[in-house]
A = this chain, B = another copy of it.
Amino acid sequence: MHYQLYYWTGIQGRGEFVRLALEDAGADYADVARDHGDEVLQPFLDGAEAGARPFAPPFLKAGRLVIAQVANILHFLGPQLGLVPEAESRRLEALQLQLTIADLVTEIHDSHHPIASAAYYEDQKAAARQRAADLRRNRLPKFLGHFEQVLAQAGGLHALRSHSYVDLSLFQIVRGLDYAYPKAMDALAPKIPHLRALEARIAERPNIAAYLASERRLAFNTQGIFRHYPELDGGIED
């Protein structure tokens, strides 16, 4: 099947979780806005295209289906790309983990935009300092600690005992946090050995290594979900 991914150009953003799955599987896909500009997104958001109406990018077009929300897209793609175990109970487990990853992604975004997502960072810096401190001290240890325990309980190598889209998303979480919060991630490193090792293994998968070395992989920057503002980074202790 040919897939069309729709996501804002210029950032990795939430689209990257889908992109990593498509790349890892060697799927036949087009990154439509990168080829034709962000204006291709609007007709879908306006309800002028057939299929389910997305609230926001990313969304995926697969035949006549339009599918939005990262966890939903990956739930759909998983079986087609061989990126989730086949049993229904295991698909639910993958979706559960992906939804917890989505919650963390929102918290990471809100650490630099705690007041208004449409306002400038510079206009909410004071609140961002406070929220980022809470992210570093409380939320990252809690979320990453959870994923670490999930990995440990599943044998250490995979969130679901075999390779899945969840592992690819956890890779992206670790890479993104390494960029945005390097000091906090240094401080957390001793507590998340399985997550760190997973990140290293994913980076060495041939399709992922090729993707990361390609121009298709944008650099992290201060327009996306993961933003490096030195004033927001720091340790994890009170």
Contacts and interface: CB of A to CB of B under 8 A. Distances in A.
Nearest to A154: B53
Contacts of A119: 134
Given A116-B138, A127-B130, A134-B116, A69 B53 contact: no
Interface string A98-139: 011011001000100011111100001001001100100011
A95 B150 CA distance: 24
Contacts of A103: 55, 106
A75 interface: yes
Contacts of A55: 100, 103, 143, 146
Nearest to A150: B53
B52 A72 contact: no
A139 B115 CA distance: 12
A153 B47 contact: yes
Contacts of A127: 114-115, 127, 130
Contact of A92 (B72, B96, B102, B150): B72
A179 to B, nearest CB: 23
A95 to B, nearest CB: 5
A54 B102 CA distance: 14
Contact of A65 (B54, B92, B116, B124): B92
Contacts of A106: 103, 106
Interface residues of A, number: 42
Contacts of A198: none
Contacts of A102: 99
Nearest to A59: B96
A149 B53 contact: yes
Interface string A21-50: 000000000000000000000000001000
A93 interface: yes
B115 A138 contact: no
Contact of A72 (B54, B95, B110): B95
Contacts of A89: 65
Contacts of A116: 130-131, 134, 138
A223 to B, nearest CB: 19
A150 B68 CA distance: 14
8 contacts: A52-B93, A65-B89, A72-B99, A110-B114, A114-B131, A115-B130, A116-B134, A119-B134
